[in-house]
Chains A and B, each alone.
Chain A
Amino acid sequence: MADQGEYSGRLIAIDGTRGKDVIAAADALVASLKERQVECAISRFDASGLFGELAATGRGVHELSARTLALVYAADLAFRLQWEIRPALAAGGLVIAAPHIDSAIAIGSAHGLDEEWIRRLLRFAPKPHFRATAEEKKPGKGWKAAVDRGYGEYCAAMLPSMTDKASRRARKEALAILRRPRSPKVHRLADDDVAHLAKAITGSLRAARSRSASKPRSGRS
Chain B
Amino acid sequence: MPRRASRELDQLIARRERSRGLLIAFEGPDGSGKTTQRKLLKRWLESQDHDVVSTRWASSSLVKPLLKVRKKIRTLSTEEYSLLHAVDFRHRLESAILPALWSGKTVLADRYLFTALARDAARGLDLDWLLNAYAPLLWPDLVLYFSMSPERSRRRVASTRSPHFYEAGQDVTGIDDPLASYSRFIERVVKEYNNLSVVFQFVTVDAGEAVYRQHTQVREFVERAAKRPWPTFSEDAVKEWLIKANIQDG
Contacts and interface: CB of A to CB of B under 8 A. Distances in A.
Interface of A: 1, 48, 50, 53-54, 57-58, 62-68, 71-72, 74-75, 78-79, 81-83, 111-112, 117, 120-121, 123-124, 161, 166
Interface of B: 1-2, 61-63, 65-66, 75, 77, 79-80, 83-84, 86-87, 90-91, 94-95, 125-126, 129, 132-133, 135, 240, 243-245
Contact of A166 (B1, B90, B126): B1
A62 B95 contact: yes
Tell me the interface secondary structure of chain B in the complex.
helix
B80 A120 contact: no
30 contacts: A53-B66, A54-B66, A57-B61, A57-B65, A63-B95, A63-B245, A65-B90, A65-B244, A66-B1, A68-B87, A68-B90, A68-B91, A68-B94, A71-B86, A71-B87, A71-B90, A72-B83, A72-B87, A74-B83, A74-B133, A75-B79, A75-B80, A75-B87, A78-B79, A78-B83, A82-B77, A111-B1, A120-B132, A124-B129, A161-B2
Contacts of B79: 74-75, 78, 81, 124
The A interface, classified by DSSP as helix, strand, loop or mixed, is: helix
A67 B90 contact: yes
Contacts of A79: 75, 77, 80
A174 B161 CA distance: 50
Nearest to A83: B75
Contacts of A71: 83, 86-87, 90, 133
B133 A121 contact: yes
A181 to B, nearest CB: 26
A50 B88 CA distance: 13
B83 A58 contact: no
A121 B91 CA distance: 17
Given A62-B91, A66-B1, A121-B133, A50 B126 contact: no
Contact of B62 (A57, A66, A74, A161): A57
Given A53-B65, A57-B62, A124-B129, A65 B94 contact: yes
B129 A123 contact: yes
Nearest to B131: A120
B129 A50 contact: no
Nearest to B86: A71
Contacts of B2: 161
A145 to B, nearest CB: 16
Contacts, number: 79
B135 A117 contact: yes
Contacts of B65: 53, 57
A82 to B, nearest CB: 4
Contacts of A65: 90, 94, 240, 244
6 nearest A-B pairs in the assembled complex, by CB-CB distance: A75-B83, A78-B80, A78-B79, A82-B77, A112-B1, A71-B87
Nearest to A67: B90
Contacts of B86: 71
Nearest to A76: B80
Q: Which of B1, B91, B135 has the most CB of A within 10 A?
A: B1
Nearest to A161: B1
A78 B77 contact: yes
A78 B91 CA distance: 19
B202 to A, nearest CB: 25
A65 B244 CA distance: 7
Contacts of A58: 62
A163 to B, nearest CB: 10
A166 B1 CA distance: 7
Contacts of B126: 1
Nearest to A62: B62
Contacts of A54: 62-63, 66
A98 B129 CA distance: 24
Contacts of A53: 65-66
B80 A82 contact: yes
Contacts of A68: 87, 90-91, 94
Contacts of A62: 61-62, 91, 95
